[in-house]
Amino acid sequence: MKKGKKASAGPRSSTRKGRRRGPFEPDPRGGKPKFYITVAYPYPSGAMHVGHGRTYTVPDVIARFHRMRGENVLYPMGFHCTGTPVVGISERIARGDPKALWLYGDLYRVPRKTLEEFVKPETIVDYFSREYRRNMTDLLLGIDWRRTFKTIDPHYKRFIEWQYRNLMARERVYRGEHPVKWCPNDRNAVGDHDLLQGDRAQVTEYTLLKFRMEDGTVLPAATLRPETLFGCTNFWVRADATYRKVKVNGETWLVSGPGREKLENQQKQVEDLGEVPGGSLVGKMVKTPHTGKPVPILPAPLVDPKVGTGLVFSVPAHAPYDYMGLMDLKKAGDPAAAGMEPIPLIAVEGYGRVPAEEICRQLNVGSQTDPKLEEATETLYHDEFTRGTVNPGIPAYGGMKVAQAREKVKADLRARGEADILYDFSMFPVVCRCNTECIVKILPDQWFLKYSDPPWKQRVKEAMGAMRLVPPEVASQFLHTVDWLDDWACTRRVGLGTTFQWDPAQIVEPLSDSVIYMAYYTIAHHMRTIPLEKVGDSLFDYVLLGKGTPEKTGVGAPLARRMRGEFRYWYPYDWRFSAKDLVSNHLTFQVFHHTAIFPAKFWPRGIVVFGIGLLEGAKMSSSKGNVVLLDDALKQYGPDVVRLFLVSAAEPWQDFDWRQSAVEATREALRRFEKTVTGILHAKPAPARPGDLEAVDRWLLSRLQSRIRLAGDTLDSFQTRQAVQQAFYGMEADLRWYRRRTDTRRPGARFVLREAARAWILLMAPFTPRACARLWKRISAAPLETAPYPRADRRRVDPRAEAAEELIERTTQDIQEILRVTGKTPRSLVLYTAPEWKHRLLRLVSQKGPDIKAVMAEAQKTPGLRERLGEVAPAAKKMAALLHDLGEERVGRARGLREPEVLRGAALFLSREFHCPVEVHPADESPQDARARESLPLRPAVTIF
C-alpha cells in the first residue's frame, strides 16, 4: 500500500537529480532519432490476464528492438480510472454480491482485508493499478514509470479541463438533448452491458399520429410507418386496459399508463386529468390526422399498453397484425367490423393488392396472437420499405417511394401539429440488471462532441491518409467509422472522472477524457513536481500549443521551456497500439481530437491494431473465469517464456490462443536456446583465420546473414511471429543442421559458432531479455538493452556455399527415401554425378522453356548432345520437371557447382548418416552401372549395395 502510493502519486525518487537513468527512462537527446510508442492504457478494475500481457509485451518487443537500433525510445504507461464500472463493482462488493465476491476474492485473490476496502471505488483502481505495475515489471516491460499517472489525479484533471475549454472555444462541444436507455430505479442511463434482457434493442424514433375524438381529445398512436395513415380503417385499443387522460402542451391526450410515463421522461409537461377504461372507448369514433376521416375504435388483444402509447391505428392492408385483428373481429361477428375492408395504399412487386392478407395466408397465421406474425411483419415491412411505392391515387404522396413518402408525411404532419415524436425501444422488454424494466428518457443538458461535423471528419480522413495503419486492412474500417460516427455524448452523471466545467453535476465521459493523453506523457514527470494551484491553461497553452510565453506559465520560464521542448521532441507519437474493438471508438476518437487541438505536424503517425486472446480455443473472459492470470503464468513459466509465447503465437493483429501445450513447447524451446548458446560459449574461443573455414562454415555464416536481415525486416513491420520464426526457429534449424553436418570442435567451426551465438543472443534480446542478458554477460560487459542489433553483412553472403549445402541436403533426403521405400540396409553407397552434357542440356532446357521440340531441335545442332539424342529426349523431360521443381533461381545458383568435389567433401558425413561407406564417382560418359544413367545435375544417381 505504502509502496503503491509512492508509485502513483507525488514526486518519486526516480526523478531526483543524480540518479542514474536506466535505458527505459529516456529524456530528449541530440544525435539519436526518437521513437515514441504508446498503448491504450488499462482500466484497472481487475487482475491482469495473459491477454493483457500480450497487449503490453508486443510494444515492449518493438521498443527494445528500436532501442538496440540506436533510437531514443519512449514507452510510457498510465491508468484509466474514470468511468462507472468500478463504482458498480464497489457497490456489488458492499452488498455482498456472491458473483463479485467470487471474482475478486477467489479468482483475483484480493486479500480479504483489501477487499473490505473495495467499498470505495478509488481503492479498487488504486489496488489494481499497483498490481498492474507489479505484473508489468515482472513481465520485464521497459516502461518509463516516472511518467505514470492515473486519470483521476488532480493534475490530469486540470489537463482535461484545459482540453475541454479548448474544444469549446473551437465549437467542437455543444449542449443538446438525447434519448437514452434509462432505468427508472437506478435513475441512470444504462449501457447494453448493464442489461439482463434486451441488449439488442435499439432506441427508435416513432411518429405519434394524433387521432382526435369528437371533443378534441387526442389519441396519439405511435408508429414507424406514418405513411400508412392513408390505409387506416379503424383504431385499436385494449379494452381491458386503463388509459390516462393527461394534459400535454395544452392538449388533452389519452395514453396508456406506461405511455404516460414515457411522455414525462421525454421532455413533455404532463398533468394528470383522470383515468378512462379502455372498454369505454370502444365504439366511439376518431378522426384521422391529415385526412380527417372518421374511423371507429375497436378492441384488440394485439395492443400492448407497454409498447408506444398503448394506442394503435389499424392498416389491415399492410400490417399483418392489423389484418388478423380485423379478421378475428369478423369471425366473432362484431357488427362494426362486418363491412370493413382493407384499404391498400402501397404497391410492392411480388405481392398482390392486399399484401398483409397474402403473407398471413402464406405463413398460415391463425389469429392476432399467433407468434408467426412477428416474422410476417418483419418480412412485409422490409419489402414495403425497400421496394414499395405509394399508390398514385394518394394526394401529395402518390407515386413516391415508401422510404421517401415516410419522411415527407412525418415532416408535413409535424409541421402542422398533427404529429409528434416518441422514442421507444425496437424490442421488448429491456430489463436492467436491477431487474427494473427500462424506458427511453430524453436527457436534457447533455453535452456532445460534434463528430458529425463534415469538415472535422474531413480533417480526420486527411490525418488517416497520412498515417500508417497496421495491418493495412483496418484502413477501411477506420474510414467507415469516421463516416458513420455521429455526435458523441461526452458527459455522464455518475462514475469517477473530471467534473464537467459547464455542468458541475456531470463528469467528462471516460472515452472522451482519454484521447490526447499521449501528449501528457511527454510532460507527466514534470507535472507531478508542480504544485496543483500553479497548473492552469497558460501552462498547457504554452507547453502543448506554443501559445503565450514561458514567463506567464506560472511555473517559471526554465521549466516551462524545458517542458515545451520535451513535448516537441517526442511528439507526435510514432505508434499507438490497441485492441481491434477500439477501432470504432477510441482509436478513431483520438485522431479526431488530435486534429482538433494540434497542428498537423503533431498528428498521429501510425496505429497497430491487435487481435483478441483465446484460452484453449475459447474466448477469454474474466467474468466467466475463463482466464489465466498473468501473475500465475509468470510464476509458472517465467517472463521470458510468457513473452516469447505471447508474441510468437500469432501476429499481433491476429487472435492468439493461449494453449498450455504450446506454452510448454515454448519453454522447452527456450531451454534449448540457452543450452546451445551456453555450450558454444563454453568452448574455447577460436581466432578468426579465414583459412580455417570450410564450405559448411561459410554456409552457416551466409544463412546467419539472411536470418538477421529477415528478423529485422519483420520486426520493422511488427510481425513479431515471423520475426521469432527467423530469429529463433530459423536459427535453431540452421544450427541443428550445421552440428549434424560437421565436426564442431574444429577451430573454424568454433569461430563460426561463436559468431552465430553472439548474433543469436542479440536477435533474441527483444523477446527474451532476461535469458539473453544472462548469456550476454559472458560476452560483453555492456548492457544488452542498448547493444547494437545485428546487421546483415553482405560480404558473408555466399550463394555458392548455400547451393553446395542444398545439394548435400537433397542428396541425403534422396538416399533416405530410397532406403525407406526399398526397406534395404545399405552395405555401401555409390553416388554418380551427372556428366557434362547433362549440364549443357539443362542450360538448354532453361533457355527454351518446357518446349521439348525446340530443345531437341537445338540439341541436334549441339556437339556433345547430337551424338546421344536417344538419351537426350527423356533427360530433357526430367530436367524440365527439375526446373519446375526447384525454380530457375536455385538452379541458376547451382550452376558451376563442382558436384563431385562437393559430394566428396560430404562423403564422411553421408557415411556417418547411413552407417556405411560412401563413394562418389564423377561423371562417366558411358557408365557400366545402369543406375548411373539416372543422374541429373543437382541430383546424383544413387546405387545401393
Partner RNA sequence: GCAGGGGUAGCCAAGCUUGGUCAAAGGCAGCAGACUCAAGAUCUGCCCGCGUAGGCGUGCGGGGGUUCAAAUCCCCUCCCCUGCACCA
Q: Residues 196 to 255: which contact RNA by CB under 7 A?
A: 202
Footprint (CB under 7 A) of RNA, residues 285-304: none
The sign of the torsion formed by the CA atoms of 683, 688, 690, 692 equals: negative
* Window of 183-191, 421-429, 567-575, 916-924 that interacts with RNA by CB under 7 A: 183-191
Question: For RNA, which stretch binds (CB under 7 A), given 89-97, 319-327, 479-487, 690-698?
Answer: 479-487
Q: How far apart are CA 506 and CA 498, in angstroms?
A: 9
The DSSP bridge pattern shows strands 312-314 and 389-390 to be: unpaired
Our CB check for RNA shows the closer of 324 and 942 to be 942
User: In the bound complex, what is the minimum distance in angstroms from residue 651's beta carbon to RNA?
Assistant: 6
CA angle 377–381–386, rounded 5-degree value? 155
What residues contact 565, with CB distance under 8 A and at least 6 apart?
28
Contacts of 83 (CB under 8 A, 6+ apart): 43, 492, 495, 496, 497, 510
From the list 105-113, 191-199, 270-278, 695-703, the region that binds RNA by CB under 7 A is 191-199
Given the complex with RNA, which of 64 and 150 has the nearer CB atom?
Answer: 150
Report the residue from 134, 568, 890, 904 that binds RNA according to the rule CB under 7 A: 890
Q: How far is the CB of 584 from RNA (least distance, A)?
A: 4
Nearer to RNA, 243 or 488 (CB): 488
Task: List the beta bridge partners of residue 79.
Answer: 150
Which among 334-342, 683-691, 771-779, 937-945 is the span making contact with RNA, rule CB under 7 A?
937-945
Number of residues located near RNA, criterion CB under 7 A: 89
Q: How far apart are CA 673 and CA 681, in angstroms?
A: 12
Minimum Å gap between C-beta 274 and RNA is 36
Between 364 and 661, name the residue whose CB sits nearer to RNA: 661
Measured CA to CA, the distance from residue 784 to residue 765 in angstroms comes to 7
Q: Which one, 692 or 934, has the nearer CB to RNA? A: 934
Least distance to RNA from the beta carbon of 732, Å?
A: 7
Question: For residues 831 and 905, is the Cβ–Cβ distance under 8 A?
Answer: no
d(CA 668, CA 732): 13
Q: Please, which of residues 606-625 interact with RNA by CB under 7 A?
A: 612, 617, 619
Q: Which is nearer to RNA, 281 or 430 (CB)?
A: 430
Minimum gap (Å) between residue 672 Cβ and RNA: 5
Among 283, 484, 825, 869, binds RNA (CB under 7 A): 484
857: part of which helix (H) or strand (E)? Answer: helix 852-861
- Rounded to the nearest whole angstrom, what is the least distance from the CB of residue 533 to RNA in the complex? 29
| Minimum gap (Å) between residue 227 Cβ and RNA | 20
Q: Give min distance, CB of 456 to RNA, in A.
A: 13
> Of 7, 239, 489, 792, which one interacts with RNA (CB under 7 A)?
489
CB of 661 to RNA, least distance (A): 4
For the bound state, the minimum distance from the C-beta of residue 654 to RNA, rounded and expressed in Å, comes to 5
Q: What is the CA radius of gyration of the chain?
A: 39
Going by C-beta distance under 8 Å and a sequence separation of 6 or more, which residues neighbour residue 20? none
**721-760 mask for RNA (x: CB under 7 A)?**
----x---x---x--xx--x--------------------
Shortest distance in whole angstroms from residue 452 CB to RNA: 8
Nearer to RNA, 146 or 848 (CB): 848
Q: What is the smallest separation between the CB atom of 158 and RNA, expressed in angstroms? A: 20
Q: Which stretch binds RNA (CB under 7 A): 230-238, 431-439, 486-494, 771-779?
A: 486-494
Three-class secondary structure of residue 294 per DSSP = strand
The answer to the question of residue 150 lying near RNA (CB under 7 A) is no
C-alpha cell at 694: 570450410
Beta-carbon-side half-sphere exposure of residue 548 (alpha carbons within 13 Å): 19
Residue 131 sits in the site that holds RNA (CB under 7 A): no
Residue list 433-452, contact with RNA (CB under 7 A):
451
Q: Which one of residues 120, 178, 770, 843 is an interface residue with RNA (CB under 7 A)?
A: 178
Which of 438, 485, 695, 834 binds RNA (CB under 7 A)? It is: 485
By the rule CB under 7 A, 854 interacts with RNA: no
What is the contact mask toward RNA in residues 30 to 69, using x (rule: CB under 7 A)? -------------x-x------------------------
Which range binds RNA by CB under 7 A, 49-57, 684-692, 904-912, 931-939?
A: 931-939
Kindly state whether residue 193 participates in binding RNA, applying the rule CB under 7 A.
yes
625-684 residues in contact with RNA (CB under 7 A) are 650-651, 654-655, 657, 661-662, 664-665, 668-669, 671-672
For RNA, which residue of 52, 64, 66, 80 counts as binding (CB under 7 A)?
A: 80
- Near RNA by CB under 7 A: residue from 8, 84, 90, 389: 84
Long-range contacts at 671-680 (CB < 8 A, ≥ 24 apart): 672/732, 673/728, 673/732, 673/760, 673/764, 673/768, 673/771, 674/771, 674/774, 674/775, 676/732, 676/735, 676/757, 677/757, 677/760, 677/761, 677/775, 678/775, 680/753, 680/754, 680/756, 680/757
Cβ nearer to RNA, comparing 216 with 454: 454
Footprint on residues 578-597 left by RNA (CB under 7 A): 580-582, 584-586
Q: Which of 691, 692, 608 is nearest to 61 (CA)?
A: 608
Nearer to RNA, 92 or 210 (CB): 92
| Maximal CA-CA distance, the chain | 120
Angle between helices 588-597 and 474-484 (to 10 degrees): 70
CA–CA dist 185, 845 (Å, integer): 85
Smallest separation (angstroms) from RNA to the CB of 437: 16
C-alpha grid cell for residue 907? 562423403
Angle at the Cα of 660 from the Cα atoms of 659 and 661, rounded to 5 degrees: 95
| Residue that the C-alpha cell 503464468 belongs to | 633
Tell me, what DSSP letter sits at residue 652?
Answer: T
Q: Which of 689, 887, 895, 912 binds RNA (CB under 7 A)?
A: 887
SS3 for 878-907 is HHHHHHHHHCHHHHHHHCCCCHHHHHHHCH
Kindly state the cell numbers that stand for 113: 482485508
Contact between 190 and RNA by CB under 7 A: the answer reads yes
Name the residue among 467, 602, 462 with its Cα closest to residue 545.
Answer: 602
| Residue 187 engages RNA in binding (rule: CB under 7 A) | no
How many helices (H) and strands (E) the chain has is answered by 34, 31
Residues 792-851 that bind RNA (CB under 7 A): 811, 814-818, 820-824
Buried b (16+ CB within 10 A) or exposed e, 774-783: bbbeebeeee
Q: Is residue 113 within the footprint of RNA (CB under 7 A)?
A: no
Mapped onto helix, strand or coil, the DSSP state of residue 388 is coil
Give how far the C-alpha of residue 606 lies from the chain's centroid of Cα atoms, to the nearest Å.
14
Minimum gap (Å) between residue 695 Cβ and RNA: 19
Of 311, 200, 331, 336, give the one whose Cα is nearest residue 254.
311
Q: Which is nearer to RNA, 334 or 919 (CB)?
A: 919
The separation between CA 702 and the C-alpha centre of its own chain, rounded to angstroms, equals: 38
Adjacent-strand bridge partners of 181: 440
Per CB under 7 A, which region of 48-56, 216-224, 556-564, 936-944 contacts RNA?
Answer: 936-944
Least Å distance, CB 822 to RNA, is 4
**Binding residue (CB under 7 A) for RNA from 10, 111, 154, 191:** 191
Residue 61, C-alpha cell as written in the block = 518487443
- Give yes or no for residue 897 binding RNA (CB under 7 A): no
Q: Are strands 606-610 and 575-579 parallel, antiparallel or unpaired?
A: parallel
Residue number with CB closer to RNA (17 or 853): 853
Q: Strand pairing partners for 347?
A: 389
